[in-house]
Amino acid sequence: MFSCLSTKVKFRDKYMPKTWYDTFVCLFIIIIIPTVFWFEIFVVLNQFYDETSVWRYIHFYAGLFILINICTNYFATITIDTSVKGLILKPQDMWKLCSVCETLVPPRSYHCNICNICILRRDHHCVFSGCCIGLNNYRYFFYFMFYMFIATVYSSYFNIFFIYSTMNFNSWFSYINIVFPLAMLLINFDMHQLYLFLTLIVFVGMIFTGVLLYFHTNLLLKGQVTYESKHNINKYNLGKIENIKQIFGMHWKDTWISPFVISPLPTDGQLFPVRIKDM
**Distance of alpha carbon 242 from alpha carbon 81, whole angstroms:** 23
Separation in Å, CA 261 to CA 11, 75, 139, 151, 250: 17, 15, 11, 21, 11
The tens place of each residue's pLDDT in the chain, 279 residues long, gives 344 444 467 888 888 898 999 999 999 999 999 999 999 999 999 889 988 899 999 999 999 999 999 999 999 999 999 999 888 888 888 899 998 988 899 999 999 999 999 999 999 999 999 999 999 999 999 999 999 999 999 999 999 888 877 666 566 555 556 555 655 555 565 667 788 889 889 999 999 999 999 999 999 999 999 999 999 999 999 999 999 999 999 999 999 999 999 999 998 888 898 876 655
Residue 267 neighbours by CB distance under 10 Å: 18
Residue 126 a catalytic site member: yes
pTM above 0.85, yes or no: yes
> Are the C-beta atoms of 181 and 193 separated by less than 8 Å?
yes
CB 122 within 8 A of CB 134: yes
Those residues whose C-beta lies under 8 Å from the C-beta of residue 57, and which sit 6 or more positions away, are: none
- CA dist., res. 113 & res. 78, Å (int): 17
* DSSP assignments along the chain, one per residue: ----SSS---B-S--S-SSHHHHHHHHHHHHHHHHHHHHIIIIIHHHH--TT-HHHHHHHHHHHHHHHHHHHHHHHHHHB--BSTT------TT-EEETTTTEEE-TT-EEETTTTEEETT--EEETTTTEEE-TTTHHHHHHHHHHHHHHHHHHHHHHHHHHHHHS-TTSHHHHHHHHSHHHHHHHS--HHHHHHHHHHHHHHHHHHHHHHHHHHHHHHHHT--HHHHHTT--TT---HHHHHHHHH-TTGGGTTS-TTS----S--SS-----GGG-
Confidence at residue 7, expressed as pLDDT on a 0 to 100 scale: 45
- CA–CA dist 114, 55 (Å, integer): 46
Please give the pLDDT value at position 35.
94
Please list the residues that pair with 111 across neighbouring strands.
Answer: 118
User: Is the dihedral angle over the CA atoms 23, 24, 27, 28 positive or is it negative?
Assistant: negative
* Amino acid in position 167: M
Q: Which of 4, 26, 115, 126 is catalytic?
A: 126
Judging by beta carbons within 10 Å of its beta carbon (0-12, 13-18, 19+), is residue 89 exposed, middle or buried?
middle
Residue 26's pLDDT is what? 95
